[in-house]
A and B are shown apart, each in its own frame.
Chain A
């Protein structure tokens, strides 16, 4: 089938829906999502959205900006971060006006809690900046945005998997999507396309990410020869439920929970004397690994305890009800009585599709854009998270830059005409799908997927080193070769989820390769990228963003400078 829309949004999470809402009245708009929008992973965010409202104590957007820059180990574009910290405030109020049920202070204002790396007066101590709704803030944001979209009669194509971007003569002109229910391919012609497809943590074996987080948008651009930015920076959240990876929000520590080793020692006091358990995530994740390495894991094992029992049952039930529910369901543990066994879990991609502050996709180091193509949210890299994202800033990023991208698209579609598409725009997508359906090579996509996740977790995880990274690159390339021979059993057209997961595996393999190659090349330690063979940050050589592109089957790396406006790089201590 053939469709025409002024604007297309690919992905129904926070960034996509926020952008869609900006296009009301500006032109016809459709949201294409491989899930029902309310299933999007924005809904899994727990602890809050950062904004310097100052509802409990003094707070300034400049402090938020500074914390974000320092938290990202200075690999943060400061112009974009100034927008992030300023606009966070107005967007949080806007969400509240749309009905977002924030928790409240006694005088009826939006409640705020402390969070990792968020400080008052440039690092003096924790500040209450995270605006929250219990431990289900992401759920509330996603629901509120979806509700607002229903109010505005936004067009949705639910359970449509976008499988190709239509880029001709350097202009993005639409997408091809596969309808899960029928197996039909649809061509959507558009003046502007926003990619808001989320993250790709599914390349790691222990992750907090949804099954659907397979990096579809970035991988599709990568395959067309466009670069991705800072792919070596992947955040491991320190507190995932042991082995399962399910996220235990930083809000547990924001509310006063502490990490304990086997001896019952509060080990973060050693690693971060000022912020302690509320140090940024990269620092806490490394501290847990180091404790485990010293034999201080619980029972000598590979995890530590997160203890919140001293907060009292009432506080836990009121402020952390979902965490209590997860622990009871999956561990048979009540956090009001017992500590929670935790270990780092692959959580968030700081890197992704390079964009400017209006969401326009950048094609290289010279600031040139890909007309008609936008990206926002976790799949994008604007870059406000640099080498390590602060807690709460993912939700800020979604709504601030989803909004900015949507607003720019509204102007763009008003000023530009539809461009023609070549005949048979579905040809490449059809060939890829038929290639998988008809393949009799005998390789199993499930086996390749598990091998990929294992090697990425073991070799491209919290601590990295040259030999292990080279081994990972080799292994991923071998898996990519084997992927060419995968066969699937399901040849049907109705809800062929096996085909979908084979396509998703293809995206993950491409992203894993550029991640490992970018990580091997960066011979320093910065934020979430910790090289045991290069333990120091090296501003002289490496205060720059990586751009990784695929050229003739090889990864090509180039670099671009970091935008520094207010805060000169300093040693990063907490």
Chain B
């Protein structure tokens, strides 16, 4: 089948502002969109800029706005998009070139929530024990691949760049609900702020955008409950 792909282009060395460019590509319905972008780059326009690595939805490199939804280009197939596809860079992060955005503001917010296990007790000679039930409490939020699909789909984030955003709250959740972690109170204090957990308006865009199917709004809800009832 023939697919028309419209891409929002911007090269800071040549363009004053972004513009749309159309490409026609021959494709199979089972092709990944990433494959089509690679084909355009190989055969039509070598200057097209996009990130990619694993090509099967694990590394989180090729997040972009595809037909109005944040998706990984390697995890969406032509048959799910139809014969007309519009691709833009993620919203809310500075565009560097074509589909490549500056991820540093995103990672800065990731680091703010201290995304690492805090526990200064001397470890046992073997593993710390953790029951399957305790382990299940934070299973969902361990799946995050830091692709930024959630944060850059969030209207609260678009409106206020100081908001920590769903991805950072997912990371906070992953540690706060881990029975081995001792930094829960410190992190809860950190997110108990206007630009923290309370900026979430339960719009659910993040849940729809997450390529790992993390129930992000639920996780944020659990953080809010932990703050209100001091239970975690």
A residues near B (Cβ < 8 Å) are 35-36, 38-41, 43-44, 53, 93, 96-99, 101-110, 133, 136, 139-140, 143, 147-148, 150-151, 181, 210-212, 244, 246-247, 322, 325-326, 329-330, 444, 446, 488-490, 492-495, 497-498
Assess whether A41 is in contact with B54, with CB atoms less than 8 Å apart: yes
Interfacial chain B residues near A148, Cβ < 8 Å: 116
Minimum Cβ distance to chain A for residue B92 (Å): 18
Given contacts A36-B103, A133-B142, A329-B75, contact A139 B47 (CB under 8 A): no
Question: Which of B50, B115, B127 touches A497 (beta carbons < 8 Å)?
Answer: B50
Task: Find the B residue at minimum CB distance from A131.
Answer: B127
Q: Give the secondary structure class of B's interface.
A: loop
Interfacial chain A residues near B135, Cβ < 8 Å: 101, 103-104
Given contacts A148-B116, A151-B116, A498-B46, 11 further A-B contacts (CB under 8 A): A35-B59, A40-B59, A43-B58, A53-B126, A99-B116, A101-B142, A103-B132, A106-B131, A494-B96, A494-B97, A495-B97
A122 to B81, CA, bound (A): 52
Q: Is B130's beta carbon under 8 Å from chain A?
A: yes
Interfacial chain B residues near A489, Cβ < 8 Å: 45-47
Of the listed residues A41, A99, A105, A489, the one surrounded by the most CB atoms of chain B closer than 10 A to its CB is: A99
> Number of contacts between A and B (CB, 8 Å)?
149
Q: Mark B46-63, 1 if CB is under 8 A from A, else 0.
A: 110111111111111100
Interfacial chain B residues near A99, Cβ < 8 Å: 116-117, 175, 178, 180-181
Given contacts A326-B57, A493-B13, A497-B49, contact A110 B127 (CB under 8 A): yes
Question: Which of A44, A93, A102, A106 touches B126 (beta carbons < 8 Å)?
Answer: A93
Assess whether B43 is in contact with A490, with CB atoms less than 8 Å apart: no
Given contacts A330-B77, A489-B47, contact A39 B61 (CB under 8 A): yes
Assess whether B52 is in contact with A97, with CB atoms less than 8 Å apart: no
Q: Is B111's beta carbon under 8 Å from chain A?
A: yes
Interfacial chain B residues near A35, Cβ < 8 Å: 53, 59, 61
Interfacial chain A residues near B146, Cβ < 8 Å: 36, 38
Interfacial chain A residues near B143, Cβ < 8 Å: 136, 139
Interface footprint category on B = 35 or more
A107 to B126, CA, bound (A): 14
Interfacial chain B residues near A497, Cβ < 8 Å: 41, 49-51
Interfacial chain A residues near B195, Cβ < 8 Å: none
Assess whether B59 is in contact with A44, with CB atoms less than 8 Å apart: yes
Question: Which of B30, B115, B145 touches A150 (beta carbons < 8 Å)?
Answer: B115
A107 to B180, CA, bound (A): 15
Minimum Cβ distance to chain A for residue B94 (Å): 11
Given contacts A99-B117, A104-B135, A495-B97, contact A490 B142 (CB under 8 A): no
A36 to B101, CA, bound (A): 13
Assess whether A139 is in contact with B58, with CB atoms less than 8 Å apart: yes
A211 to B96, CA, bound (A): 21
Assess whether A212 is in contact with B60, with CB atoms less than 8 Å apart: no
Assess whether B46 is in contact with A488, with CB atoms less than 8 Å apart: yes
Assess whether B59 is in contact with A494, with CB atoms less than 8 Å apart: no
Task: Find the A residue at minimum CB distance from B47.
Answer: A490
Q: Is B42's beta carbon under 8 Å from chain A?
A: yes
Question: Which of B59, B77, B98, B129 touches A108 (beta carbons < 8 Å)?
Answer: B129
A-B contact pairs, 14 of them (CB 8 A): A39-B59, A43-B58, A97-B123, A101-B178, A104-B130, A106-B132, A108-B130, A109-B126, A211-B52, A246-B55, A325-B57, A488-B46, A497-B41, A497-B49
